[in-house]
Structure 1
Amino acid sequence: MSVILAIESSCDETSVAVCNNGKITANVIANQTIHQNYGGVIPELASRVHQQNIIPVVQQALIDANVSKKDINAVAFTRGPGLLGALLVGVSFAKSFALALDLPLIAVNHMHAHILAHFIEDPKPTFPFLCLTVSGGHTQIVIVRDFDQMEIIGETMDDAAGEAFDKTAKILNLPYPGGPLIDKHAKNGNPLAYTFPVPQIKNFDYSFSGFKTAILYFIRDKVKENPNFIEENLDDICASVQHSIVNILLIKLKKAALEYGIKDIAIAGGVSANSGLRATLQEEAKKLGWNVFIPAFEYCTDNAAMIAIAGHYKFMKNDFVGQDVAPASRMEF
């Protein structure tokens, strides 16, 4: 029996969740709209807003879960990776809360939590399974053998897929956050209107730096020919870019699934909310006989529910840390 309070503050969402015996009973997320004015997350501003949000978000989570502080058995928190200042707010609060109530602390790797989000609701994958984890900062193919046994077999050599979406949006003068807007426009466009190069990277690794440059030069040259090119062709551009990124992701995922003989395939991370990726993955599943697992939208982007479920499995193994634990902007997987 366990009631775990979980805190997520790795970037610009202040989130707190409660996990009661493996079931999420609260998942409160406070977004930071201030960054829209700057076209991206400003780390110092993110830290300050986390400080403003953390106490009321914790209070709301306890109310939603219908529990009090005395019911909590452990405190889980995102240790990293993420923005150091943002992490510091969450880690410091978790340590203080735990110290005041004499509770054990559970440190969670943010990327592990994205993968374990698949165990919040049914259906759940069975071990071993492959997980394509795609976000603004990470792109990885992971073999998941158990709740605490994960191995990266492929990852980006430079930029992440989520960054490719966001930078493309910026080139197209779309407001921040731009990734969801590309997805929205892509639904009305022709995915084969324009073609972009597929990076030729060995094994199961990815690269998106050259892809981003190709899009930049493509838009630059087209705008020289027609200053209204973006406005007149926005839907087709977005659809073509999204189609290309999804294709790049799936090429390596299919290769890994074939080589390792794994049929249970999952996606996780913020980009797993992309409708094009979801639809294409389901189409490939029908062709290849895969069992596909995709978290609910609320568990794709950064949230504390995934920290809570990861904390639940760590709690069952008494995997605790001391009060000397510190946030880590980068962590070993």
Structure 2
Amino acid sequence: MLAAPGTNRVTYFLALETSCDETAAAVFTDELQVLSSVVASQTDLHARFGGVVPEIASRAHLRSLLPVVDDALARAHIGLKDIGCVAVHNTPGLVGALLVGVSAAKALAFGLGVPLIAVNHVASHIFACRLAAGRDIFPCVGLVVSGGHTALFRCDTALSMELLGGTRDDAAGEAFDKVAAILGLGFPGGPAVEREAAAGNPKAHDFPRSFIHDGRLEFSFSGLKTAVMYACHGQDVKRATPPGPGQKRADLAASFQSAVVDVLAMKCKQALRKTGLARLAVGGGVSANKPLRAALEAMCKKEGADLFIPPLSLCTDNAAMAALAVEKWKQGAFAPDDLDAEPNWL
């Protein structure tokens, strides 16, 4: 049953994540202690297609969700009867995938007679920094950089996010996936490009860095992707085949990665200066990129700002970051019985 905020009784939360291609469940307490976090990856299912196929993702969630929940409860050494609140990422994401998690969460909350809390997946990526830090990080500038989103926010509190600017076309993670496909590196593109880039020269190609000297806090990676394609194949792209292993491919990967990192670091610097804030919290799958982490560390050191980036396990999609639900629970902000999946948010 639910323990009221301020009492000595611990409340256990069960959280679900099915927004894209990771089926995840986690158990945490109202004191933000994560007792378990289980993620079932679908990478192998989507690799042959070079990207996430929504219908395949939804069906895989149906197969994996209950086993993942059972595993999360077992690792936390509690049973369903001990759960005092159920949380679920209901926005944004693939609508079919979200519906699996939302439907399961509603059924669990109803069956257990406990409250249901709807959590924003993007906001959770910022809150992952709070989890990792073990202390309050707000107010801060938040950067969410993933396969579906690249956006900057002013975050005055964990539940207050003002959009400062986002991408006008591809998200950074999407660009990594598309460039990986151009180079024949496979899926997922982020880790593949980073590995290939390690042997390349980041200055071999002078790729565009859109808006880097523009004061607007906006991003655009579509032109960069196109530039890589022409540098790789020339003008005859219809008959192009991916380059084989070698220095050319490594240089292309390194130069592309360098362009993305430069833009992200510059826009974060501009956001810090425009808001006057001295904290930067970065979340999302692309935040696992080592050159990006190094560039942001160097930038924040020069700007005199504190940088918060979660460990790799909290960068990619997971349910532990839905511990943001604790903040809503403290306010009694429970979801209605007719909670629905909302694929679009930004």
TM-score by length of 2: 0.91
Say if 1:123 and 1:281 are closer, same or farther in 2 by CA, change over 3 A: farther
Q: Which 5+ residue runs of structure 2 have no aligned equivalent?
A: 1-9
What SS does the corresponding residue of 1:247 show, helix, strand or coil? helix
AA paired with 1:30?
Answer: A
Q: Does 1:318 align with 2:298?
A: no
Q: Does 1:211 align with 2:224?
A: yes
CA distance in structure 2 between the partners assigned to 1:222 and 1:278 by the alignment: 34
What SS does the corresponding residue of 1:121 show, helix, strand or coil? helix
What SS does the corresponding residue of 1:133 show, helix, strand or coil? strand
Spell out structure 1 runs of 4+ moving beyond 3 A: 222-232
Q: Note the alpha carbon deviations across 1:129-185, whole angstroms, 9 max, x for none.
A: 111110111111111100111111111111111111111101001111111111112
What SS does the corresponding residue of 1:218 show, helix, strand or coil? helix
Deviation of 1:188 after TM superposition, in Å, equals 2.2
Q: Does 1:135 align with 2:146?
A: yes
> Contact 1:166–1:179 (CA<8 Å) still a contact in 2?
yes
CA distance in structure 2 between the partners assigned to 1:127 and 1:183 by the alignment: 31
CA distance in structure 2 between the partners assigned to 1:171 and 1:247 by the alignment: 21
Partner of 1:260: 275
Q: Which 5+ residue runs of structure 1 have no aligned equivalent?
A: none
Partner of 1:13: 22
Partner of 1:291: 306
Of 145-154 and 257-266, deviating more is 257-266
Q: Does 1:241 align with 2:256?
A: yes
Say if 1:138 and 1:227 are closer, same or farther in 2 by CA, change over 3 A: closer
Q: Note the alpha carbon deviations across 1:74-119, whole angstroms, 9 max, x for none.
A: 1000101111111111111101111111111100111011111112
Q: Note the alpha carbon deviations across 1:16-68, whole angstroms, 9 max, x for none.
A: 00012211110000011211121111111111111110111000000101111
What root-mean-square deviation, in Å, do the aligned CA atoms of Structure 1 and Structure 2 show?
1.9
TM-score by length of 1: 0.95
The within-5 A match list for 1:104-119 is 104-119=115-130
Deviation of 1:285 after TM superposition, in Å, equals 2.1
Q: Does 1:28 align with 2:38?
A: yes
What SS does the corresponding residue of 1:144 show, helix, strand or coil? strand
Deviation of 1:286 after TM superposition, in Å, equals 2.2
Say if 1:110 and 1:95 are closer, same or farther in 2 by CA, change over 3 A: same
Q: How many residues align?
A: 331
Q: Which is bigger in relative contact order (C-alpha 8 A, separation at least 6)? A: 1
Say if 1:229 and 1:97 are closer, same or farther in 2 by CA, change over 3 A: closer
Deviation of 1:126 after TM superposition, in Å, equals 2.8
Partner of 1:275: 290
Deviation of 1:203 after TM superposition, in Å, equals 1.1
Say if 1:242 and 1:227 are closer, same or farther in 2 by CA, change over 3 A: closer
AA paired with 1:6?
Answer: A
AA paired with 2:73?
Answer: L
> Contact 1:74–1:106 (CA<8 Å) still a contact in 2?
yes
CA distance in structure 2 between the partners assigned to 1:54 and 1:204 by the alignment: 38
Deviation of 1:226 after TM superposition, in Å, equals 12
CA distance in structure 2 between the partners assigned to 1:124 and 1:171 by the alignment: 42
Identity %: 43
